[in-house]
């Protein structure tokens, strides 16, 4: 008589149930795998210490440059020229490590570099983009002010001509707030009111009158440098102005680039939280049985997997639209609103399954949840994205009086 061994139970990772890898081409999968390996080997082993000490080493800029993720969706100047989906997948893998990593790369590539790439002169592009792509130089993006976040049109930072004619110097005065990479930056893209409307300027951070003050005692995005920028009679040559940046639409287009990365990035934090929690529940015994074997546990894990998978399908879909004919701002609002909202809910729910262990840095979900509190707010608050969608549906701008 022969016996047949019982079949092994199928165990899938959350996104395997959706088979989202089938929607990606070979290069996209390879890019995601390369970035994930980098995060797993070089970043995750250090994140607990960086988060606890509220630091992010400046030399990571060069490592990100070597990895090829800085401005990776741009063409030329040492940039990889990948498609939007590949860039999104890189953001997802970086944020699976920590939101601070994705924020660094996002600000460098989608705000600092993109503002120069899209609106700069040839001289500005040739001077700064190769340095920023390699991580030799670090950039930041100065739009938000202490009293003007969701309403950047009201900014008080002012740029005035010093003299007559197009070649006259500019003098900038004002304050910018909540600026990622501010204390690390070699160049800041600063937006200011002028007699000609809102214009953008490239400000080398060693320019007299420019000061970056680090913001301390943060409860979120601790492994990220956040700063206040102070411009006190900062004198710039006429050539510092971004020639093609006219009006508020210019900085807002840069924000749309960064928001797209968040659509994918937030899912990385959610995926890491969920994978960490699934592994924990398999080994944590409660009443002589793995925590994973209880119905309430499985209900939570199943619900979180459904929302993670739906968010991934939405992100890939928006990426394909962006690569094809261009994604609209309200569509990016849909993606950021949904995926950040679901990601923070997943991270919080995962923390409950970890019990007391969940409040330590040994496990990632509460760290991700804390970080996502910032992601929920920056690059447009959830409320503003709701109203952006509402305007698209009704034609009425409810956020303007």
The single residue listed with the structure tokens 């490590």 is 97
379 has catalytic annotation: yes
Distances (CA, A) of 353 to 359, 360, 369: 11, 13, 14
Tokens of 27: 């290069």
36-68 in b/e burial notation, b at 16+ Cβ within 10 A?
bebbeeebbeebbebbeebebeeebbeebbebb
Report d(CA 332, CA 266) in Å as an integer: 13
**Annotated catalytic residue: which of 145, 228, 342, 379?**
379
CA atoms within 13 A on the CB side of 262: 35
Report d(CA 27, CA 178) in Å as an integer: 35
Hey, is 55 helix, strand or coil? coil
The single residue listed with the structure tokens 């309403």 is 151
Q: Is there a contact between 26 and 83 (Cβ–Cβ < 8 Å)?
A: no
Hey, is 179 helix, strand or coil? strand
Q: Is there a contact between 205 and 179 (Cβ–Cβ < 8 Å)?
A: no
Name the residue among 389, 264, 278 with its Cα closest to residue 334.
389
Tokens of 205: 């951070």
Q: Is there a contact between 219 and 370 (Cβ–Cβ < 8 Å)?
A: yes
| Strand ranges (E), 128-186 | 139-142, 158-162, 169-180
Report d(CA 342, CA 209) in Å as an integer: 43
Report d(CA 296, CA 193) in Å as an integer: 55
As annotated, the active-site residues are: 379
């Amino acid at each position: 008589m022969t016996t047949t061994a019982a079949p092994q139970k199928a165990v899938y990772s959350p996104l395997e149930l959706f088979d989202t890898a089938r929607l990606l081409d070979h290069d996209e999968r390879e890019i995601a795998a390369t970035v994930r390996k980098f995060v797993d080997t070089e970043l995750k082993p250090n994140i607990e210490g960086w988060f606890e000490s509220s630091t992010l080493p400046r030399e990571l800029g060069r490592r990100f440059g070597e990895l090829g993720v800085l401005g990776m969706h741009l063409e030329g100047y040492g940039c990889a020229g990948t498609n939007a989906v590949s860039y999104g997948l890189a953001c997802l893998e970086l944020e699976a490590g920590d939101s601070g990593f994705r924020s660094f790369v996002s600000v460098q590539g989608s705000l600092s570099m993109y503002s120069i790439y899209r609106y700069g002169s040839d001289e500005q592009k040739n001077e700064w983009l190769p340095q920023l792509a390699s991580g030799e130089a670090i950039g930041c993006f100065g739009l938000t002010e202490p009293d003007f976040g969701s309403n950047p049109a009201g900014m008080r930072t002012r740029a005035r001509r010093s003299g007559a004619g197009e070649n006259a110097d500019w003098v900038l005065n004002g304050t910018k707030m909540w600026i990622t990479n501010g204390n690390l930056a070699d160049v800041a893209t600063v937006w200011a009111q002028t007699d000609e409307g809102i214009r953008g300027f490239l400000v080398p951070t060693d320019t007299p009158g420019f000061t970056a003050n680090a913001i301390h005692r943060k409860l979120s995005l601790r492994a990220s440098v956040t700063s206040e920028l102070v411009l006190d009679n900062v004198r710039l040559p006429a050539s510092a102005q971004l020639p093609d940046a006219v009006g508020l639409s210019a900085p807002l287009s840069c924000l749309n680039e960064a928001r797209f990365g968040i659509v994918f990035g937030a899912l990385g934090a959610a995926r890491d939280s969920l994978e960490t929690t699934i592994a924990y529940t398999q080994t944590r015994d409660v009443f002589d049985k793995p925590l994973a074997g209880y119905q309430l546990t499985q209900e939570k894990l199943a619900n979180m997997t459904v929302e993670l998978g739906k968010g991934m399908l939405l992100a890939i879909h928006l990426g394909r639209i962006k690569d094809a004919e261009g994604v609209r701002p309200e569509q990016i609002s849909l993606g950021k609103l949904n995926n950040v909202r679901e990601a923070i809910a997943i991270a919080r729910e995962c923390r409950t399954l970890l019990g007391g262990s969940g409040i330590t840095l040994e496990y990632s979900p509460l760290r991700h949840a804390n970080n996502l509190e910032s992601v929920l707010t920056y690059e447009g608050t959830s409320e503003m994205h709701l109203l952006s969608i509402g305007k698209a549906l009704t034609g009425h701008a409810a956020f303007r009086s």
